Amino acid sequence: MAEQRTFVFSIVFIILFAGIVSAIPTDLQGQGEEPDIVTPLNPALIAGFETTENWSMVALSAYDQYMYTLNLRDWLFSHVYGTLQLGAKVYTWIFWFGTLDSCEFINTNGTSRGTVLSTAEINADATEGAVRYELRYLIDGADAGGFIVYWNSTLYTSVGDAFTADEVYFLHGVGLSSTASPDAVSLLLGLLLMRLPDCPPLINLILATPIYACVIFLIWFIIKESLPFV
Amino acid sequence: MSLEDIPSNFADYLGINETTAQLLLSLVVIMTLLLPTMVLAKGKNAVTIWLIVTFLGECIVLGLGWLPFWIMIMTIAITVLGIAFVSSGAISGG
């Protein structure tokens, strides 16, 4: 009897929890923020972002890479021989085997600069030391937010000089439009994979444990009821 | 000063960190809604009304960016645990 009761409990808990969490409007995650920028920028360039990640050349690792988490995905930024590449890590469950969901850089004219952005292209697209690219995933063309490259144009006339001096700044922002549709599913996945945004790991573990416990019990109960000799 | 800036100004005024100020102000908003409801709504189904008001209050402070998002998920988890306990008892006759 206790097993049947736990079975009903597990089903009710999983269905209600997933249903209610999926029903939370994504706009409740905040009204947006004003990114911290190092040099003054045209406000139009940094408008419309719900959440952002800022970094500069000095933040890059010894391999000229920078990793961060944004919009429930882990991102890898690489500076390779004067070119820039950006992609989201593709996980197989919780493991990452080096696969990236690479992004294309689309300039303000709508021209795709491909997944490898050169300094010459940045110089051509930039105005007064700043340029905004729209990011699109290469695989499915979905919106991946905006990417801004900026530097102090009074000190460095070209981005190449700023790169040499490690004085180039980057901003990856995600707007409400690019977070709205996939958030319900990615929020649940983030919860289960211990990658809930802005959530301490221990709290995430406490939240995920009942769900895992219910799922494991359900699997055990179904197998047990299916096999009469167990 | 916008509504979103109130916690940081409140934190500066009291000399506490911003997260504590956000939680304190969120608590004030939720309790302002919940306490009168708890006084007015009594009886068999009062808990349902209290929960609805709590969720509404949390939605307001979440929308203002005062409360971390996971607190809402935690409230949902606790509520759903309660509902699952009650319903499993009712369905299986326990």
pLDDT tens per residue across span B1-47: 677 778 888 888 888 888 888 889 999 999 999 999 999 988 878 88
In a mutational test of the A interface, the residue from B6, B71, B73 whose CB has the highest number of chain A CBs within 10 Å is: B73
Query: Which residue from B74, B85, B94 is facing A1, i.e. has the nearest CB?
Result: B94
pLDDT tens per residue across span A46-91: 777 777 888 888 888 888 899 998 877 889 999 888 889 999 888 8
Judged by CB atoms closer than 8 Å, whether chains meet at A17 and B85 is answered as no
Is residue A146, in this structure, part of any structural domain at all? yes
Residue spans of alpha helices (H) in chain A: 2-23, 119-125, 159-164, 183-192, 201-226
The pTM score is 0.58
Query: Which residues in chain B are contacts of A8 at CB distance < 8 A?
Result: 87-88, 91-92
Q: Which of residues 2-61 of B touch A (CB under 8 A)?
A: 4, 59
The Cα of B86 is separated from the nearest Cα of chain A by a number of Å equal to 9
Is residue A227, in this structure, part of any structural domain at all? no
Specify whether the CB–CB gap between A147 and A35 falls below 8 A.
Answer: no
Q: Is B90 on the interface with A (CB under 8 A)?
A: no
Residues A193, A151 share a domain: no
Domain ranges of chain B: 3-91
Query: Which residue from A5, A16, A196 is facing B70, i.e. has the nearest CB?
Result: A196
Is residue A194, in this structure, part of any structural domain at all? yes
Q: Is A51 on the interface with B (CB under 8 A)?
A: no
Closest-CA residue to A102 (of A135, A150, A53): A135
- Nearest C-alpha in B relative to A201: B70
- Report pLDDT for A180: 43
Residues A51, A80 share a domain: yes
Residues A77, A111 share a domain: yes
Q: Is A16 on the interface with B (CB under 8 A)?
A: yes
Is residue A228, in this structure, part of any structural domain at all? no
Residues A117, A166 share a domain: yes
Q: Is A15 on the interface with B (CB under 8 A)?
A: no
Residue spans of alpha helices (H) in A86-138: 119-125
User: Where in the sequence is the domain holding A203, given as residue range(s)?
Assistant: 2-21+184-222
Residues A201, A152 share a domain: no
Residues A129, A188 share a domain: no
Q: Is B70 on the interface with A (CB under 8 A)?
A: yes
Is residue A90, in this structure, part of any structural domain at all? yes
Q: Is residue B68 exposed (0-12), middle (13-18) or buried (19+ Cβ within 10 Å)? A: buried
The Cα of B28 is separated from the nearest Cα of chain A by a number of Å equal to 19
Is residue A230, in this structure, part of any structural domain at all? no
ipTM beyond cut 0.85: no
The Cα of A119 is separated from the nearest Cα of chain B by a number of Å equal to 38
Is residue A93, in this structure, part of any structural domain at all? yes
Residues A173, A156 share a domain: yes
Q: Which of residues 177-196 of A touch B (CB under 8 A)?
A: 191, 196
Judged by CB atoms closer than 8 Å, whether chains meet at B84 and A9 is answered as yes
pLDDT band of residue A39 (cuts 50, 70, 90) is low
| Whole-number Å distance between alpha carbons of A5 and A21 | 24
- Report pLDDT for A29: 57
Residues A52, A133 share a domain: yes
Is residue A34, in this structure, part of any structural domain at all? no
Please state the domain count of chain A. 2
Residue A72 CB neighbour total at 10 angstroms: 20
Q: Which sign does the torsion angle of CA A10, A13, A16, A18 carry?
A: negative
Alpha carbon of A130 to those of A33, A135, B13, B46, B59: distances in Å? 20, 16, 37, 57, 37
Residues A204, A109 share a domain: no
- Report pLDDT for A58: 86
